[in-house]
Structures are given as structure tokens and as C-alpha cells.
Amino acid sequence: MKILGIDPGLRICGYGLVETNNKISLIEAGVVKTDKKDKTEKRLEAIYQSMSELIKRIKPDAIALEKLYSHYRHPTTSYALGQARGVICLICSQLNIALYEYSSTHIKKAVVGRGRATKEQIQRMVSQMLGIKNNPKYFDITDALAAAITHAHTLKRQR
């Protein structure tokens, strides 16, 4: 099964595709960036176009996202994140791809073993689990891969 994890953001959307057989293997990972000088609608269109093309090309069986968490001190960040997430949800509906959402604490616990892990700890563990020699440049990539790994672990437990 191919699982695409996505860490949506208005500036950077991280993605990571893994395949599960007897073990979890990395297939592809990267980021989709938008220009912060562009208007929001242009940035959302860029995310839609890039992610649609990516998903059509790699044909995942499922997509895993982190549930939206809103911190009262940063409402604007949550708003932008919600818009990018909405674009991903729309693509899943249009392409009829199963979408699974996990809380950030669930993802951290599944990957690191504790729900309050740091981004650096997640990055190290994801890199170790997937045999990535050099840590990816963006935390968005390892966050996306962590979501995909979490879904793979969830499927394994359900069997």
C-alpha cells in the first residue's frame, strides 16, 4: 500500500510517500513552495495545481494529514493552515482517495514514543526508520513522513 503524508502550509507543503509491505519504505519526498508575495488565492491555486499533479502521478492508496490544532496566540497561522488543508481535502474528494487525519500528539507518539516530542526528535526518528542518511532540509518533509508512518502503523494494528 502506498501512503502519502502531507504537512500542509500556505508557504511550504511537505509531502512524503511511503510503501508498506513487511516494512515501511520511502519512495519519494519533497516540498511544494509558494511565493509569500503572491495573494492568498494565487498561493492556494499553486498548492492545488502542484499537489493535484503530484497525487495523480504517484497514485497513493491513502493520504494522511495532521488534524488542525489552533493555538489561541496564533489564530492567523491556524487560518492559513486551514486553507491549505482545505485544498488537500478537496483534492482527496475529487480524486476519490481515502483521507485519514491524526492529532499531532498521536503522530508524535506513533513515531517517537511520546506525544510531546520536538520537531528535531521526529526528524531523527523518521530519518532512522526510513534509512535517510542526511536529514531533510525542511521539517515539513519529516512531518509529512511521520503522518504517513503513523497511518502505516495504524493499519498494521488493525490487521
> 30-71, pLDDT tens digit by residue?
999 999 999 999 999 999 999 999 999 999 999 999 987 766
The answer to whether 45 is a known catalytic residue is no
Asked if 24 contacts 3 with a C-beta cutoff of 8 angstroms, the reply is no
Least-confidence region, from 1-5, 76-80, 85-89, 106-110: 76-80
* Chain centre to alpha carbon of residue 62: 12
Determine the average pLDDT of the residues in 130-140.
93
Task: Indicate if 143 belongs to the active site.
Answer: no
Q: In angstroms, how far is CA 117 from the centroid of its own chain?
A: 17
What global pTM score does this model have? 0.94
Active site residue: 66, 101, 120, 143, which one? 66
| Cβ neighbours of residue 15 closer than 8 Å, sequence gap 6 or more | 4, 5, 6, 7, 29, 30, 31, 32, 51, 54, 141, 144
pLDDT at 72: 64
**Burial degree of 52 (CB within 10 A; 0-12, 13-18, 19+):** middle
19 is catalytic: no
- The residue annotated as part of the active site, out of 41, 53, 61, 140, is 140
**Do 142 and 135 touch, CB atoms closer than 8 A?**
yes
